[in-house]
Structure 1
Amino acid sequence: MIAPGFADVEAQIWMWMMAMIRPGAAMVVTPVFGAANVPVQIRIILAFMIGMVATNSASFDLPADTAISLGNFIFVLGEVLVGVAIGFSLQLGYSSVVIAGETISNAMGLGFASMSDPQTGQSTPVIGQFLTILATLLLLAIDGHLMLLAVIVESYSALPPGYAFLGAELAWGIVKFGGTLFSMGLLIALPVGGALILIQLIMGFLARTAPALNLFAVGIPVTISAGLVMLAITAPIMADTIILSLGMGLDQAALISGGK
Structure 2
Amino acid sequence: MHGFANPTRFLSIARPLTSAFMVTGLIMVAIALFLGVFNAPADRLMGDTVRILYIHVPAAWLGMAGWTSIAIASLVELVWRHPLAGIAARASALPGAFFCALCLATGSIWARPTWGTWWVWDGRLTSMLVLFFLYLGYMALADASQKDAAAGRGGASRVAAIFGLVGAVNVPIINRSVVWWNSLHQPASISIGKSAIDPAFLWPLGIAVIGFSLIFGAIVLMRMRTLLADIRIEARMRRLAAA
Q: What TM-score, normalized by structure 1, do the two folds share?
A: 0.26
The higher radius of gyration belongs to 1
Highest RCO, 1 vs 2 (Cα 8 Å, sep ≥ 6)? 2
